[in-house]
Amino acid sequence: MTDLIEGTLEKARAAIAAHDLVAPDAAVLLMVSGGSDSTALAYLGAALREAGDVGPVAMLHVNHQLRGEDADADERFVAALAEALDIPLFICSIDIAAEAERSRENVEAVARRERYLAANEALRSMCQHEGRPLSEARIFTAHTADDRIENFYMRSIVGTGPGGFRSMLYRNGPVVRPLLDITRDELHDYLSAREAAGETVVRDESGALWREDATNAHTDRFRAYVRHKIVPVAKEWNSALPEVLTRSMNLIADEDDMLQNMAEKLAEESTEWVAEDDTFGIDRSEGFRLLPAFGKAERPLQRRAVLRLLEAMLGPDARVEAASVEAVLAGFANGAPNSGYVANIQYDLAVSVNKRGVLVEPMAYFRARRKKHD
């Protein structure tokens, strides 16, 4: 049992080292829902703290108020877990259903956004209290190899853009995923081994080692459908699926990183932001221009560069459609600006072309310029 406990911890350490996820003295916020994966993350985070692999550790639990008493029981379980591990706890309660109705957005999308807003706010507060630099602080999530595999199949079904089949990043800004090489079953075994070895464990009000969300079994939800209907069939064909597919996704990720670096160089050398001020920096919301030299680049690099430029212009919550990227690239014909071309793409953006290049800007700006010249 001790070997299993230490082996799981070593896998997390190996991921941290291989992908340079966190500095040994950096502040770490653990996002803990109370499910098996995040409960394991709490124990592993405490172990990393005790071993000096990370700096001060705190936990965040977000109560989405979507499951009534079950959600409140999740909160009580996480509070007991934080107390047992002597980890400071932030609790945030948000009426996600009401917010989704108000904003007319998908409930899951709203929950995710609010969760990460709360995490960034808690991380700032923690760094101020601990006197640690925010730039080095990290948010640990409990995403596993299974989550990554599910994402892979979900994207296989609905389609994806450049780099999509790497599935999940080990690090995305301050958010890191140290359990991405560990399966959900391995974490279940880790939790059971802790109990068998007499290590600290916390049980919920029903006596379980973690909280179960019954909605995870509903196969009318896309992820649950993939988890329960597709992945098990693939594992029947190849029981080593987690190791094999993780290795394949990491190979894709290596090539994706290389291509992304090339695309960023292309954007830097052949693009200009419309509004740039030496005092206040760049206002990316006003748009960008792809210079004529951009049209000479290979199409895969152009596609990646335009995707990142649109994401930078629209903000981190934007979901850029492939059709929008292609509409921008249609501004070039035979490697040169296609003067006179005009298109309207998502988020009410205008694409227009003259000899100076391909301009992408808010439609209101485009119309104002047209009216001025009429």
Indicate if the alpha-carbon torsion angle 360, 364, 367, 372 is positive or negative: negative
Indicate if the alpha-carbon torsion angle 122, 128, 129, 131 is positive or negative: positive
Report the candidate in 87, 113, 92 with the shortest Cα–Cα distance to residue 28: 87
- The whole-angstrom separation of Cα 2 and Cα 7 is 8
- Find out whether 38 is annotated in a ligand binding site: yes
Question: What pLDDT sits at residue 27?
Answer: 97
What is the CATH architecture of 2-237? 3-Layer(aba) Sandwich (3.40)
Question: What pLDDT sits at residue 163?
Answer: 82
- Find out whether 36 is annotated in a ligand binding site: yes
**pTM metric for this prediction:** 0.84
Distance between first and last Cα of the chain:
78
Strand 342-345, strand 349-354: pairing: antiparallel
Structure tokens given for 291: 């210079």
Question: What pLDDT sits at residue 215?
Answer: 66
- Find out whether 37 is annotated in a ligand binding site: yes
- Find out whether 33 is annotated in a ligand binding site: yes
Question: What pLDDT sits at residue 220?
Answer: 65
Strand 332-333, strand 336-337: pairing: antiparallel
Strand segments (E) across 162-307: 171-172, 175-176, 271-277, 281-290
pLDDT digits (tens, 9 = 90+) for 286-305: 899 999 999 999 999 999 99
Question: What pLDDT sits at residue 106?
Answer: 81
Question: What pLDDT sits at residue 216?
Answer: 66
Question: What pLDDT sits at residue 279?
Answer: 45
Task: Check: CB of residue 324 under 8 Å from CB of residue 310.
Answer: yes
Q: pLDDT tens string for the chain (374 positions)?
A: 789 999 999 999 999 999 999 999 999 999 999 999 999 999 999 999 999 999 999 999 999 888 888 899 999 999 999 999 999 999 999 888 888 888 888 888 888 888 999 999 999 999 999 999 999 999 999 999 999 999 999 999 998 877 889 989 999 999 999 999 999 999 999 999 999 999 999 999 999 999 987 666 666 688 899 999 999 999 999 999 999 999 999 999 999 999 999 999 999 999 999 876 544 556 788 899 999 999 999 999 999 999 999 999 988 667 888 899 999 999 999 999 999 999 999 999 999 999 999 999 999 988 888 776 65
Report the candidate in 149, 125, 372, 132 with the shortest Cα–Cα distance to residue 249: 149
- The whole-angstrom separation of Cα 282 and Cα 180 is 35
pLDDT digits (tens, 9 = 90+) for 64-104: 888 888 899 999 999 999 999 999 999 999 888 888 888 88
Q: For the chain, which residues make up each domain, given as ranges?
A: 2-237, 260-373
Structure tokens given for 282: 């760049």
**Rounded alpha-carbon distances, angstroms, from residue 332 to 243, 337, 360, 367:** 43, 5, 13, 22
- The whole-angstrom separation of Cα 198 and Cα 190 is 12
As a three-state string, the secondary structure of 320-353 is: CCHHHHHHHHCCEECCEECCCCEEEEHHHEEEEE
